[in-house]
C-alpha cells in the first residue's frame, strides 16, 4: 500500500497538477476499471473501451498542469461520456450501439455538477461579449433559431450572423479550453 492510497481525490489532483506520476497512477488505479465498465456497458467492445479509457488518461496526463477539476470521479465519468459520444458518431456500428445502449439521459442525472459548472462558465463568457454578439449567440443557442431567422429578426445580414457566431464560438472554445476538457465538445 502506497502513501497515495490514503489521499483523497482533491490532494491527488493537486499532486497530479505538479506532474507527480505516482498520483497519476493512483488516479488511474482508482478509476480506470469503473470507467471501463461504464464504457463497456454502452459500446460492448473491449478494444474500443480500452482505447477510449486509455485516451482519456493520456489526455489527463498531457494536460495535468492546466486541469481545473472540482470532482474527479464526475469529471472522469463525463470525459468518458463525451469520448463515447465521439466514438459512437464515427463508428460503423453507430445504429447498433445506440439501439442496444441503456438510456444515457439517466446517467447524466448524477453528473449535474459538471453541467452546472459548464452552464456557469458559458453564462460568464456571455457577459464578456458585446451586446449584439451576445444577443445573436443567445438566439442561436437558447432559442435554436437558424442564422436566417436571426438575421430576419435583427434586420442584419445572414453573413453577419454567421461571422458573429464564428467569432463567439472561437472565443468560447478558448475560454473553455482554460477549463480544460470541455473545449473538445463544442
- Nearest-CA neighbor of 24 among 183, 32, 147? 32
Answer positive or negative: Cα dihedral of 148, 150, 155, 160: negative
For residues 70 and 64, give the distance between their C-alpha atoms in angstroms, rounded to a whole number: 14
Q: Which three cell numbers stand for residue 143?
A: 432559442
Query: What is the structure's pLDDT at 107?
Result: 47
Q: What's the predicted TM-score (pTM) here?
A: 0.53
Query: What is the structure's pLDDT at 21?
Result: 94
Q: Are 15 and 61 in contact (CB under 8 A)?
A: no
Q: How far is CA 161 from CA 125, 141, 166, 171, in A?
A: 18, 13, 9, 15
Per residue in 6-60, pLDDT (tens digit) is 578 889 999 999 999 999 999 999 999 999 998 888 888 899 999 999 999 999 9
pLDDT of 127 above 70: yes
Q: Which three cell numbers stand for residue 82?
A: 463525451
Q: Are 49 and 40 in contact (CB under 8 A)?
A: yes
Residue ranges of domains in the chain, CATH in brackets: 1-102 (1.10.1740.10), 109-186 (1.10.10.10)
Grid look-up 498520483 returns 23
Amino acid at each position: 500500500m502506497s502513501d497515495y492510497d490514503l489521499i483523497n481525490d482533491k490532494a491527488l489532483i493537486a499532486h497530479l497538477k505538479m506532474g507527480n506520476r505516482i498520483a497519476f497512477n493512483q488516479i488511474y488505479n482508482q478509476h480506470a476499471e469503473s470507467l471501463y465498465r461504464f464504457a463497456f456497458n454502452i459500446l460492448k467492445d473491449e478494444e474500443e473501451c480500452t482505447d477510449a479509457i486509455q485516451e482519456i488518461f493520456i489526455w489527463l496526463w498531457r494536460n495535468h498542469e492546466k486541469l481545473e477539476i472540482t470532482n474527479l470521479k464526475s469529471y472522469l465519468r463525463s470525459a468518458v461520456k463525451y469520448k463515447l459520444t465521439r466514438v459512437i458518431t464515427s463508428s460503423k456500428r453507430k445504429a447498433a450501439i445506440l439501439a442496444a445502449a441503456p438510456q444515457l439521459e439517466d446517467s447524466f442525472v448524477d453528473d449535474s455538477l459538471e453541467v452546472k459548472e459548464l452552464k456557469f462558465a458559458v453564462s460568464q463568457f456571455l457577459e464578456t461579449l458585446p451586446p449584439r454578439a451576445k444577443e445573436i449567440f443567445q438566439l442561436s443557442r437558447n432559442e435554436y433559431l437558424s442564422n436566417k431567422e436571426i438575421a430576419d429578426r435583427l434586420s442584419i445580414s445572414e453573413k453577419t450572423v454567421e461571422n458573429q457566431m464564428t467569432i463567439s464560438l472561437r472565443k468560447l472554445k478558448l475560454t473553455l479550453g482554460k477549463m480544460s476538457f470541455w473545449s473538445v465538445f463544442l
